[in-house]
């Protein structure tokens, strides 16, 4: 450790002094900060501060995503690992370029974006597409707005929307059934299974219902990270329990889907699937726990979070049942992302009355 510290200190000094390399200081600084904690102390009151920081915050989300990630590799082969690496690399390059050009620090938020993005992709996706999507998502979803903390849309979802619009066939027909049995995906690169429809497509096209058991344990087709639902639920509960995400958004989201689907299913059972099926299919759980709760793009106020969750639920069920798309989670989250600042300002306006000058 001391050895590493010495090297880093030396490099930092060297880079700071050299006029040409000075630009790349953020990269080195990020590495330095990654390995070693800060040496600053508090100035004035409060004299002590919480031990939590953004790195740990983001690391906790990554930990919560691990069950889904490992399950993804198991189901769809080592190619998933390659997808994740490509996603980190492509997005990371954009992040670094921006840090260098803007002379700002590299933000830890990318740790999560780089992992969430591959998990919402179909397993058949080619690697070059992953690279484009990840770079696009980070660039247009985050950096053009000014980096993490200022972005309006969830960068991973921006990337996915871009890919699903640019290459629609991968998101309509190229789904695969997962491999199971033995070591399956851990020792193979890809699955050679033929393409298959997702449960949501089955329902929409032919009103077929997939059984609950295969939905929970991920035996049906879907995006890489969303199918192992028991892992998604565990990860989500972990995040709520450790207070990393607020419980309001996922709970209201899922509850609204359940209630709204129940009503819809009662009147039009062939258009609206039943509540349990709605919750257990597609990216709903994954979206509710990991994407809708993204603190930057969701409303800040508690009142806003309730409203956000309810609207997400209604939109998701509506898009799933009445639109040409089979899945509505992605669009409803992006739509609500766009109006999250509006929700906040409405809530703030209602709670804090104008002061008369």
Partner 1 sequence: MGIKTFKGGYRFKRFKGQAKAGMIPFDVPSRVIIPLHQGFGTPLAPIVNVGDQVKAGQIIAEDGSSISSPIHATISGKVTSIEKKNYFKREINFVAIQGDGSKDIARLEGYNSDWSKLDTRKVEELLYKSGVTSLERSGIPTSFKSSVVAPSDITNIMVHGMESEVYNTSLEVLLTGRNLEKFVDGIRILKRVMPNARAMVVLNKSHGSLISKTRKLAKSIGGFSVIKTVSKYPQGYDEVLIPTILGKQFPYGYSAANMGIIVLSVQAVVQAYEAVAEGMPVIERTVALCGPSFKENIHVKIRVGTPLETVLKNRLKNSPARVILNSLMTGTELKDLMLPIDRTYSQIIAIPENADREFLAFLRPGLRADSYTTTFLSTYLRTCKIADTNIYGEQRACIQCGYCISVCPVRIIPTHINRLAKISINEALLRYGVFKCIDCNLCSYVCPSKIPLSKNIKDAKSKLTEAGCDHSLCHAPKYDLKGIDEYRGLKGTR
Give contact residues for partner 1 (rule: CB under 8 A): 1, 5, 33-42, 44-57, 59-60, 105, 107-109, 147-150, 241-244, 246, 295-296, 298, 300-302, 348, 352-357
Q: Are 22 and 100 in contact (CB under 8 A)?
A: no
> To the nearest whole angstrom, how small is the minimum distance from the Cβ of residue 152 to partner 1?
12
**Structure tokens that stand for 273 in this block:** 């699937």
> By C-alpha distance, which of 224, 249, 223, 220 is closest to 236?
249
CB of 79 to partner 1, least distance (A): 28
Half-sphere exposure of 99 (CA within 13 A, CB side): 21
CB of 97 to partner 1, least distance (A): 18
| Residue 131 CB, nearest approach to partner 1 (Å) | 26
In this structure, are residues 65 and 109 in contact, taking their beta carbons and an 8 Å threshold? no
Determine the Cα angle at 24 with ends 22 and 25, to 5°.
70
Q: Supply the minimum distance, in Å, between the C-beta of residue 146 and partner 1.
A: 8
Which of 186, 302 has the CB closer to partner 1? 302
| Cβ atoms of residues 282 and 327 within 8 Å | yes
Burial class of 215 by CB neighbour count within 10 A (0 to 12, 13 to 18, 19+): buried
Contact 257, 317 (CB under 8 A): yes
- Phi, psi angles (nearest 5°) of residue 176: -130, 150
Residue 169: CB minimum distance to partner 1, A: 36
Nearer to partner 1, 45 or 183 (CB): 45
> Minimum CB separation from partner 1 for residue 313, in Å?
20
- Take residue 199 and report the two structure tokens written for it: 């449960």
CA distances from 64 to 110, 114, 329 (A): 15, 14, 20
Cβ-based nearer residue to partner 1, 215 or 296: 296
181 φ/ψ angles, rounded to the nearest 5 degrees: 95, 130
List of E strands, 50-142: none
CA–chain centroid gap for 314, Å, is: 20
CA distances for 246 relative to 36, 153, 281, 295, 309, angstroms: 29, 18, 23, 9, 11
Q: Is the torsion defined by CA of 143, 147, 148, 150 positive or negative?
A: negative
Residue 326 CB, shortest distance to partner 1, in Å, is 32
CB of 338 to partner 1, least distance (A): 16
Mark residue 13 as left, alpha or beta (left: phi above 0; alpha: psi -120 to 50; beta: remaining). alpha
């Amino acid at each position: 450790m001391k050895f590493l510290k010495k090297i880093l200190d030396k490099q930092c000094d060297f880079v700071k002094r050299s006029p040409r390399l000075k630009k790349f200081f953020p990269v080195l600084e990020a590495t330095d900060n990654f390995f070693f904690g800060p040496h600053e102390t508090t100035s004035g009151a409060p004299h002590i501060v919480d031990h939590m920081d953004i790195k740990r915050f983001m690391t906790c989300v990554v930990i919560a995503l691990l069950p889904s990630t490992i399950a993804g590799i198991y189901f769809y082969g080592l190619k998933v690992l390659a997808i994740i690496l490509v996603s980190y690399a492509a997005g990371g390059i954009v992040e670094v370029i921006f840090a260098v050009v803007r002379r700002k620090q590299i933000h830890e938020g990318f740790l999560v974006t780089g992992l969430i993005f591959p998990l919402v992709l179909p397993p058949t996706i080619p690697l070059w597409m992953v690279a484009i999507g990840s770079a696009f998502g980070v660039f247009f979803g985050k950096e053009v707005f000014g980096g993490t903390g200022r972005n309006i849309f969830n960068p991973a979802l921006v990337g996915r929307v871009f890919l699903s619009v640019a290459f629609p066939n991968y998101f309509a027909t190229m789904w695969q059934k997962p491999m199971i049995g033995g070591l399956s995906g851990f020792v193979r690169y890809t699955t050679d299974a033929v393409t298959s429809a997702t449960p949501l497509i089955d329902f929409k096209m032919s009103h077929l219902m997939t059984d609950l058991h295969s939905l929970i344990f991920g035996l049906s087709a879907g995006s890489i990270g969303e199918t192992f639902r028991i892992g998604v639920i565990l990860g989500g509960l972990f995040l709520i329990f450790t207070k990393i995400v607020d419980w309001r958004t996922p709970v209201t989201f899922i509850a609204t889907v359940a209630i709204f689907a129940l009503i819809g299913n009662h009147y039009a059972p062939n258009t609206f699937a039943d509540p349990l099926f709605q919750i257990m299919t597609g990216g709903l759980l994954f979206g509710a726990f990991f994407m809708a709760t993204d603190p930057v793009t969701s409303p800040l106020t508690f009142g806003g979070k309730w409203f956000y969750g309810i609207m997400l639920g209604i939109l998701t069920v509506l898009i799933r049942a009445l639109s040409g798309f089979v899945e509505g989670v992605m669009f409803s989250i992006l739509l609500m992302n766009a109006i999250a600042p509006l929700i906040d300002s409405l809530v703030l306006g209602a709670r804090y009355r104008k002061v008369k000058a």
